[in-house]
Amino acid sequence: MFTATLLASPASANLDRATVESLRDAWGGGMAHWLNPGIAAEFPLAEVPNNLWQVWEGLQGLGVDLVVQKTEGRRKKMLLADMDSTMIGQECIDELGAKAGFGERIAAITARAMNGELNFEEALIERVGLMKGLATSVIGEVLAERITYTPGGATLIATMKREGGYAALVSGGFTAFTGPVAAHLGFDENRANLLLEEGGRLTGDVARPILGREAKVQALHEISARLGLTADDVIAVGDGANDLGMLGIAGAGVALHAKPSVAAECDIRINHGDLTALLYIQGYAAAEFA
């Protein structure tokens, strides 16, 4: 059996009964169940429809996301999440770069790296090099003044942890940011790159080995093995090219507001919903949220 989940942005709450029931009828699905009126609904299916992606495309124009997945094993036991532009709304390295006076230059490199146009490690080294001499106190300023949290993140983590789940934040960014972000949201652990500093200033380099695409895959395998879980027990979420490895291996790999080149390689694409979408696609109703 499969489950089709339709999702709208909680801000617009524009998912109507007609949209859900007309699709259910067209696909010969079972009874529709509302997880949150106006925001999320689901219905069972005997098989994956042949026109899934054509229907998905049409619903995008209505501001509605559509996910079809196997019903069995939907509820996951571990969350593995990217940080920049996923759990938070910014790219931390771009915000640091803006403070260093190289904002546009660094942001342009970031965009190309996240689209998969540049080697991630080389792009990271180049951007960090531009911040040589920047006072480390600027990191605290960026956290306080420029970082915003993606809606639904704390609820996602609290709900999964209440059900016995585990949450890990794995970023190609920096521990100076993942530490505070993980603590704020309730992650159990975090992994990222270490910015090197000396005398209260950044040296313009990062510790080796650099945590990139393969390190995220390694984290998935290491953490799940340590917890006695398999990759199928994991729901992973990210938006950039360096997330594709873990998104492809996880039982549920979610491209959240992802770059088009990244979303094209994922079966679960959330372009309108927030992080609570990861709960709805696991079958949680809003009344079950922590």
181 CB-side CA count, 13 A: 35
Q: Closest Cα partner for 16 from 67, 59, 49? A: 59
Q: Does the annotation count 188 as an active-site position? A: no
Q: How many secondary structure helices (H) and strands (E) does the chain include?
A: 12, 12
Say which of 16, 25, 65, 84 is annotated catalytic: 84
Q: Does the annotation count 239 as an active-site position? A: no
Q: How far apart are CA 247 and CA 267, in angstroms?
A: 10
**3-state DSSP assignment of residue 52:** helix
Decide: 30 and 61 in contact? Cβ < 8 Å. no
Say which of 65, 82, 233, 239 is annotated catalytic: 82
Q: How far apart are CA 79 and CA 236, in angstroms?
A: 6
DSSP track, 179-191: HHHHHHHT-SEEE
Q: How far apart are CA 131 and CA 204, in angstroms?
A: 5
Catalytic residues: 82, 84
